[in-house]
């Protein structure tokens, strides 16, 4: 079967518009560590996939998965040591205020639980998010996706411009003044919810503003916004689906941005590809949630999720992936920042650990976003054997987010390929 006929079959079976990456889509058939292989046997360095955090086809994860599925995999209404131990390990990795866990099957479901808890505890319904966030695909969670700053689609959501220094809310402000300017926008969003009826339940943010392009956030913003939210009687939900699990070089994005969320949501990398999400918070909140909602999720909190989830934690520790993320990420970021002076189209390079952003612009002075260039580079880099994508409010930011087993050597190779692309542009 040719790739074209596969594409036609896919369009019938999954519907037109089921998204495919790249102008000429890839048929990926195998993965290993930080590498993916297409149907022709060509190897690609995977710098996009954050789900297989401990490496594609990680043998320890495969073993744990197979052994548990061959032993027992049931719902959570029997006692099972695995799921209890897994929950204990997850909470122990978080700050003291995070005591108990509700497991689910995706980041979307975990955010649903977080929102339901926040609404239950505060007895209010309003949610505040950024203008360029993405938190998942259920109707409630999707109402916070890429809302912009216009009046929200849902009467229960308000947005504020995500905090950043590259295209700051106002020019010429000190770091502290800029921080205050963003805080005022959050306060305005909360006030709008309070005056319009739904009241204020929670601020929900990705701890490193991943979909916003991993901006450099004005110093102290997250700490101060947490204080503001608490003063207003709301809860802070940290969506750690992308920022957690060692991605930044620390366990959690909130450690990098120096704040203590009330509720921590995890997903993507937890199961290295097995659907698995979790919502963790104070035991008191979870007790109230369980007694009020009678929450049950058939394929969640299972022995399979526990075994695979713990194998992933073990592999992160055994392979020292927090250190790898910090070190390889830092050196690659340095390399990218060297390109700021070399190419006027590279407006900014920034990031935390192995989540890096390269801001493509018409020129460094205007900072005008160049979405077409980001698309072009993503395609051209793919041809050269390196898989990245693009994101950000203007979709002009190269998104670099490899499995955490990504190496210095592959980072060096990427910089060579990136330079080739940029030199082709100027040739």
Q: Nearer Cβ to a second copy, position 267 or 392?
A: 267
Identify whether the C-beta of residue 235 lies closer than 8 Å to the C-beta of residue 260.
Answer: no
User: Measured between alpha carbons, how far is 298 from 309 in angstroms, rounded to an integer?
Assistant: 17
Would you count residue 279 as binding a second copy (CB under 8 A)? Answer: no
Q: Which stretch binds a second copy (CB under 8 A): 8-16, 173-181, 197-205, 251-259?
A: 8-16
Number of residues that bind a second copy (CB under 8 A): 96
- Helices within 197-294 (DSSP H only): 221-231, 253-256, 283-293
Q: Which of 75, 223, 337, 339 binds a second copy (CB under 8 A)?
A: 75
Cα–Cα nearest to 268, from 397, 75, 146, 108: 108
Q: Which of 204, 210, 286, 346 binds a second copy (CB under 8 A)?
A: 286
CB of 13 to a second copy, least distance (A): 4
Q: Nearer Cβ to a second copy, position 25 or 97?
A: 25
Q: Which residues contact 86 (CB under 8 A, 6 or more apart)?
A: 305, 306, 309, 310
Cα–Cα nearest to 95, from 289, 269, 250, 286: 250
Interactions with a second copy, residue window 128-157 (CB under 8 A): 137-140, 142
Would you count residue 181 as binding a second copy (CB under 8 A)? Answer: no
User: Measured between alpha carbons, how far is 422 from 324 in angstroms, rounded to an integer?
Assistant: 28
CB of 412 to a second copy, least distance (A): 24
Would you count residue 60 as binding a second copy (CB under 8 A)? Answer: no
Instruction: Kindly give the pairing relationship between strand 43-46 and strand 386-387.
Output: parallel
Q: H or E stretch including 40?
A: none
Interactions with a second copy, residue window 246-275 (CB under 8 A): 267-268, 271-275
For residues 171, 177, 182 and 185, what is the CA-based torsion angle, rounded to 10 degrees? -100
Cα–Cα nearest to 312, from 278, 279, 282, 286: 278
Q: H or E stretch including 308?
A: helix 303-318
Q: Which stretch binds a second copy (CB under 8 A): 84-92, 172-180, 349-357, 364-372?
A: 84-92
Identify whether the C-beta of residue 424 lies closer than 8 Å to the C-beta of residue 380.
Answer: yes
Q: Nearer Cβ to a second copy, position 303 or 329?
A: 303
Q: Which of 23, 42, 43, 62 binds a second copy (CB under 8 A)?
A: 62
Q: Which of 23, 43, 71, 317 binds a second copy (CB under 8 A)?
A: 71
Q: Nearer Cβ to a second copy, position 92 or 365?
A: 92
Q: Nearer Cβ to a second copy, position 95 or 293?
A: 293
CB of 188 to a second copy, least distance (A): 26
Would you count residue 418 as binding a second copy (CB under 8 A)? Answer: no
Would you count residue 57 as binding a second copy (CB under 8 A)? Answer: yes
Q: Nearer Cβ to a second copy, position 100 or 325?
A: 100
User: Measured between alpha carbons, how far is 88 from 198 in angstroms, rounded to an integer?
Assistant: 35
Interactions with a second copy, residue window 28-47 (CB under 8 A): 28-31, 36
Q: Nearer Cβ to a second copy, position 75 or 367?
A: 75
Would you count residue 399 as binding a second copy (CB under 8 A)? Answer: no
At how many degrees (to 10) do helices 107-122 and 283-293 cross? 90
Q: Which of 304, 312, 332, 333 binds a second copy (CB under 8 A)?
A: 304
User: Measured between alpha carbons, how far is 299 from 301 in angstroms, rounded to an integer?
Assistant: 7
Interactions with a second copy, residue window 87-116 (CB under 8 A): 87-88, 91, 99-109, 112, 115-116
């Amino acid at each position: 079967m040719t790739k074209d006929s596969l594409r036609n079959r896919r369009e019938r079976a999954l519907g037109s518009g089921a998204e495919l990456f790249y102008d000429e889509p890839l048929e990926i058939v195998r993965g290993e560590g930080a590498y993916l292989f297409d149907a022709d046997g060509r190897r690609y360095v995977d710098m996009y996939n954050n789900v297989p955090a401990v490496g594609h086809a990680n043998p320890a994860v495969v073993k744990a998965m197979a052994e548990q599925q061959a032993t027992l995999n049931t719902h959570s209404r029997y006692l099972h040591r695995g799921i209890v131990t897994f929950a204990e390990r997850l909470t122990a990795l978080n700050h003291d205020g995070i005591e108990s866990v509700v497991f689910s099957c995706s980041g979307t479901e975990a955010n649903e639980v977080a929102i339901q808890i926040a609404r239950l505890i505060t007895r209010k319904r309003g949610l505040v998010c950024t203008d360029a966030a993405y938190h998942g695909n259920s109707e409630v969670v999707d109402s916070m996706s890429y809302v912009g700053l216009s009046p929200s689609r849902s009467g229960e959501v308000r947005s504020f411009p995500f905090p950043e220094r590259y295209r700051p809310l106002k020019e010429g402000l000190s770091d502290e003044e800029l921080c205050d300017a963003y805080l005022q926008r959050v306060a305005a969003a909360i006030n709008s919810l309070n005056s319009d009826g739904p009241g204020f339940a929670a601020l929900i943010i990705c701890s490193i503003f991943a979909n916003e392009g991993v901006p450099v956030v004005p110093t102290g913003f997250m700490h101060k916004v947490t204080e503001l939210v608490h003063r207003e009687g709301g809860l802070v939900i940290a969506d750690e689906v992308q920022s957690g699990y060692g991605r930044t070089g620390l366990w959690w994005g909130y450690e990098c941005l120096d704040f203590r969320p009330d509720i921590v949501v995890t997903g993507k990398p937890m199961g290295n590809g097995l659907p698995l999400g979790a919502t963790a918070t104070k035991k008191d909140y979870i007790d109230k949630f369980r007694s009020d909602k009678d929450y049950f999720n058939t394929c969640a909190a299972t022995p399979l999720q526990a075994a695979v989830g713990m194998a992933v934690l073990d592999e992160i520790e055994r392979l020292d992936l927090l250190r790898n993320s910090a070190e390889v990420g830092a050196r690659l970021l340095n390399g990218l920042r060297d390109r700021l002076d070399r190419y006027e189209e590279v407006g900014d390079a920034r990031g935390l650990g192995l989540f890096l952003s390269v801001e493509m612009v018409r020129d460094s002075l205007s900072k005008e976003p160049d979405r077409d260039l980001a698309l072009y580079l993503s395609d051209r880099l793919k041809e050269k054997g390196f898989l990245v994508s693009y994101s950000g409010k203007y979709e002009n930011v190269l998104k670099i987010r490899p499995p955490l087993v990504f190496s210095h050597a592959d980072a060096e190779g990427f910089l060579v390929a990136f330079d080739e692309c940029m030199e082709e542009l100027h040739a």
